Amino acid sequence: MTQKLSIVKIGGNVIENSDELTKFLKLFANLGGYKILVHGGGKLATQLATKLGIESKMIGGRRITDAETLEVITMVYAGLTNKNIVAELQANNCSAIGLSGADGDAIQARKRPVKEIDYGFAGDVDGVNHKMISKLLEADLTPVFCAMTHDGHGQLLNTNADTIASELAIGMSELYDTTLYYCFEKKGVLIDVADDDSVVKNIDAAKYQQLLNDGIIADGMLPKLENCFHALHKNVSKVCIGHHSMLDSKNELFTTITL
């Protein structure tokens, strides 16, 4: 029987709220079986950049990562944010190890080619070293990945955390029965954004197309759902989207996505 693996991604809204982060990490630490955590930290990076007099440039919600910005996000993502999360997981009896994609050659990427926009040192994932990561899991260590990768030639790259979570789930599904969790501030995919309880509990390919046609899935939810179905088509078992309270087995109000 294939071992189960949970890959959980959290965003800035949890990271920047110490009370919510503490609640989340307790739930995550109590998850049964193998697990991996992926986190962002963009707002904290922007705040530090401002303090250092470095302008943060965004286009279409994506960060332009010049050399100075890369230094800042390395400090925040791989340093402050990652190590605070790891330390708090230890306090919850979860033996965690903080990683970037460069550590153990865990996640390989390439610098995004310049087309209409030059995103600087932004990385697009090429592959996941699932054998190395599996060794950590089997040693009872819980990997905590920040949103950074490398190109194999000494260059660190800023990489979207949702994408890292999706690519990790795809890579690890070669060895494990993998479920991917995207945690954010809402309870799931909503029929009405003004009604937090209007959660679409189950979405398959046909339902997804219907929600697209009806304009229910749009804007920022669109790339998240595209990541979800990309993962499912690459053998990830299922994807769940919702508030981090969905990690509590008693909570049933979140969105489960399957093929």
Q: What is the CATH number of the domain that holds 139?
A: 3.40.1160.10
SS3 167: helix
- Residue 63: both structure tokens together: 């960060």
- Residue 90: both structure tokens together: 């230890």
Q: DSSP state, 194?
A: T
Tally of domains in the chain = 1
Contact status, residue 197 vs residue 39, Cβ threshold 8 Å = no
To the nearest 10°, report the CA torsion of 222, 226, 164, 56. Answer: -30
Amino acid residing at 128: V
Contact status, residue 104 vs residue 169, Cβ threshold 8 Å = no
What is the pairing mode between strands 34-39 and 4-10?
A: parallel
The confidence score (pLDDT) of residue 222 equals 83
Cross-strand partners of 11 = none
What is the rounded distance in angstroms from the CA atom of residue 213 to the CA atom of residue 53? 44
Domain with 126, as residue range(s), is: 4-257
The confidence score (pLDDT) of residue 193 equals 85
The confidence score (pLDDT) of residue 3 equals 95
Q: Output the tens digit of pLDDT for each of the chain's 259 residues.
A: 689 999 999 987 889 889 999 999 999 999 999 999 999 887 888 888 899 999 888 887 778 999 999 999 999 999 999 999 999 999 999 999 999 999 999 999 999 999 889 999 999 999 999 999 999 999 999 999 999 999 999 999 999 999 999 999 999 999 999 999 999 888 999 998 889 999 999 999 999 999 999 888 877 788 888 889 999 999 999 999 999 999 998 999 999 999 8
Contact status, residue 77 vs residue 41, Cβ threshold 8 Å = yes
The confidence score (pLDDT) of residue 22 equals 95
